[in-house]
Amino acid sequence: MNLLLLGLPGSGKGTFSEHLEKEKKMLHMSTGDLFRKNIDNKTKLGLDAKKYLESGKYVPDHITIDMVKDYIKKNNYFDNLIYDGFPRTVFQAQALDDFLIENNSKLDKVIYIDIQEEIVVNRLKNRLVCSKCQSIYNKKTKAPLKEGVCDFDGEKLLTRKDDLPENIAIRLQVYKEQTSPLLDYYNERIFNVNIGDHNIEEFIKTVYDGLKI
């Protein structure tokens, strides 16, 4: 079974993916992580994508789609994959459906993480990321043991450029314009979970029960 996680930036797609990987032995593809890796490694793709990531805008569809197809083919990830952050536009969604059909596969379910904007804005503006291992902290709710330093490897914690307040506003706007139409596109494939202020365990149980996985 292939699953897509859909939801506002900061809705918990990454955290939930980690659970699915660990508990359900699923594979994981985060397009944000793939772009960031390419930026760190200074590849041509990374250089093309950098300005979009830093400003919170979407990388153009053709660049994103080519990267995803390459990644899935190279790793043979046609089944048991969590799609985290892709597709984010209707054009990408159509391209993915076509690509999967050509390869005898499909996107089975779309988990829509329904969360209030206010909650994600608070999360994003307090988010810190380890410059080395990418572990995520929150200044308010999940502070590191020692300020500014990762608990796991002692490396410096940074604020992602796209988590600066002006870029958070852009990301939310872009999401509304380009990604919310996916709810209609996927229609009967959607499994809607309203997370509200529920903790992650409750959320996960609802999804596992609902999807019988």
- Provide the binding-site residues for ligand ADP, judged by CB under 6 A: 9-10, 30-32, 35, 52-53, 56-59, 64, 85-88, 92, 162, 171
Shortest approach of ligand ADP to residue 53 CB, angstroms? 4
Closest CA to 83 of 7, 22, 181, 134: 7
In the chain, alpha helices (H): 13-24, 31-40, 44-55, 61-75, 90-102, 117-125, 165-174, 182-186, 200-211
**Shortest distance (Å) from residue 81 CB to ligand ADP:** 14
Nearest distance from residue 6's CB to ligand ADP, in Å?
Answer: 10
> Which of 52, 78 has the CB closer to ligand ADP?
52
Active-site residues: which are they?
13, 88, 127, 160, 171
**Measured from the CB atom, is 62 or 140 closer to ligand ADP?**
62
Residue nearest to ligand ADP (CB): 32
CB 55 within 8 A of CB 162: yes
What is the smallest separation between the CB atom of 127 and ligand ADP, expressed in angstroms? 9
The answer to whether 207 and 24 have CB atoms below 8 angstroms apart is: no
> Distance between terminal CA atoms of the chain?
9
Toward ligand ADP, which CB reaches closer, 33 or 151? 33
Place of tokens 């093309």: 48
Token pair of 184 as six digits? 């209609």
Whichever of 2 and 64 has its CB closer to ligand ADP, that residue is 64
- Residue 188 DSSP symbol: G
